[in-house]
Structures are given as structure tokens and as C-alpha cells.
Homo-oligomer: A and B are copies of this chain.
């Protein structure tokens, strides 16, 4: 993988937006949540699947899920009283490849 002769510095605005995405993953609970959802049956999990293994209260888990959703890493589908969360296809890969190329 060759290094281009000229290397552009990331713009302040792009750095801000990239930092927002990275920040969404910069917490152990949220990293575990993403990993747990990815490993769960059918690739989806509800809040009640996560609270116990995480050792966190239900409001805290909902809070983390909202942050991951707002950052575009998760999607939510409500069925009955349950809310099922999934990985947003390609979102994580997009971040890691952009991170690797941009900085």
C-alpha cells in the first residue's frame, strides 16, 4: 500500500464529524453492546438482552443505545413492547476504513 506523495490534512469540519463518530465508540459499555448485538441470535438484541450481561441499569443501556443509533451504528425495529437493535450495515466498516485512510 503506497503512500501518496502529497498528503491532505483533514479539514477542521471533517475532524469534528469524524470525532463525533469515534466518540460514540469510545466507551467500554458501548463497545460491548455492539459486540453483543453482533454475536446475538439473528444479529439483533433487545434492551432486556443486554442489561444483565452489562451489569448496567435499563435507563443507562437505553442511553448508550441512543448514542450508538444517533451515530448511525445501530438501527432499531419495534415489535410489540420490545425494541430490537441491529448493526447498521456497513456503518462500522465505513468508519474504520475512513479512519485508516484519513488520519
Contact = CB atoms under 8 A, between A and B. Distances in A.
Interface of A: 7-10, 12, 15-16, 18-19, 22-23, 25-32, 34-36, 38-39, 53, 92-93, 95-97, 99-100, 102-103
**Listed residue (A23, A31, A39, A92) with the most chain B CB atoms within 10 angstroms of its CB:** A31
Q: What number of copies of this chain does the assembly contain?
A: 2
Contacts of A99: 25, 92, 95-96, 99
A9 B100 contact: no
Q: Is the interface of A mostly helix, strand, loop or mixed?
A: helix
14 contacts: A9-B35, A9-B39, A9-B53, A10-B31, A12-B28, A15-B28, A18-B31, A19-B26, A22-B31, A31-B103, A34-B103, A92-B99, A92-B103, A96-B96
